[in-house]
Amino acid sequence: MTYPTSLGVSTTTQITLLGQDLADDLIGSVGFGELAFWLVTLQRPTPQQTRVFEACLVALADHGFTPTAIAARLTYLSAPDALQGALAAGLLGGGSRFLGVTEDTGAFLADAVTKARAAGTLPEGDGDAAWDALAADAVRARAAAGGKVPGLGHHLHKQGDPRVPRLYAVAQEEGQVGPHLRLFAAVGRVARETLGKDLPLNGAGAVGAALADLGLPVELLRGFALLARTAGLLGQLAEEVRRPIAGRIFAAVEGAAEYLPPEGA
């Protein structure tokens, strides 16, 4: 029985990764983001793809005192001897609500793009009208099914998430705007009319669209959000080491505890 792999394989004298000699071909020759892309897709990204990919990671890396950052800091407070546990605790919040937006948006867009392509109705080129029609259909179908359209709205940036136009500009500069980013922009244009609410596109959603256009597997997009967040959590933990606040957060919560008898007790 063998276990096939295209990733790392070692002999006593050589380490290969992706079929490359790790020492001779990779260390010092490829960037870290470039390698992460390559590890997942098995294809070395172009410099243009790498720049958009790293822009996405930078966009998601840290967002201040998120629940995941606070959870990581509190875990470090309790178990400072196991940094890996604090990091893992922070990543475990990377589920449906916070980091999941990236993946959900990518999946929503990819589904609409795939269906339109199969039906021969995928718009060609940049014309807004055709994309708007496709977007309106997809948004209405999702809403009719009782679902939420991912990538819209932000609890803070109600007038627009500043990351969105910048991500589009970078993708444009690098020639990486494809059907997912086009459709996402159209979702933003039709959202008010089709949903009756003013919900701007958010950055996590734009990242999902951009990553899908880069050809990354949609079912793993959450993983890139987690990779980006790992860097952010490291920053949070380094700051916690330098100037701790988790103990004060703990004390504030503990001090505000109020016993409430169970109903019916």
Q: Which of residues 201-260 bind a copy of itself (CB under 8 A)?
A: 217, 219-220, 222-224, 226-228, 230-232, 234-239, 241, 243, 245-246, 248-250, 252-254, 256-260
Angle at 48 between CA 122 and CA 123, to 5 degrees: 10
User: What are the CA-CA distances from residue 214 to residues 40, 73, 190, 191, 250 (Å)?
Assistant: 12, 33, 24, 25, 42
Q: Which residues pair with 8 in a beta bridge?
A: 17
Confirm or reject binding of residue 121 to a copy of itself (CB under 8 A): no
Confirm or reject binding of residue 157 to a copy of itself (CB under 8 A): yes
List 47, 97, 144, 146, residue binding a copy of itself (CB under 8 A): 97
List 46, 63, 133, 140, residue binding a copy of itself (CB under 8 A): 63
Q: Would you say 76 or 131 has its CB closer to a copy of itself?
A: 76
List 114, 123, 140, 165, residue binding a copy of itself (CB under 8 A): 165
Q: How far is the CB of 74 from a copy of itself (least distance, A)?
A: 4
List 48, 49, 67, 208, residue binding a copy of itself (CB under 8 A): 67
43-50 contacts, C-beta under 8 A, 24 or more apart: 45/214, 48/174, 48/175, 48/176, 49/174, 49/176, 49/214
List 126, 158, 192, 193, residue binding a copy of itself (CB under 8 A): 158
Residue type, 73: R
Confirm or reject binding of residue 177 to a copy of itself (CB under 8 A): no
Confirm or reject binding of residue 175 to a copy of itself (CB under 8 A): no
Confirm or reject binding of residue 156 to a copy of itself (CB under 8 A): yes
CA-wise closest residue to 77 among 203, 194, 244, 251? 244
List 49, 54, 113, 138, residue binding a copy of itself (CB under 8 A): 54
In the sheet that holds 8-10, the strands lie side by side as 8-10, 15-17, 20-21
**Which parts of 76-95 interact with a copy of itself (CB under 8 A)?**
77-89, 91-95
Question: Which residues does 189 contact at the CB level (< 8 Å), separation at least 6?
Answer: 128, 132, 135
Q: How far is the CB of 233 from a copy of itself (least distance, A)?
A: 9
**Pair 103, 205: CB distance under 8 Å:** no
Burial class (CB in 10 A: 0-12, 13-18, 19+), 184: buried
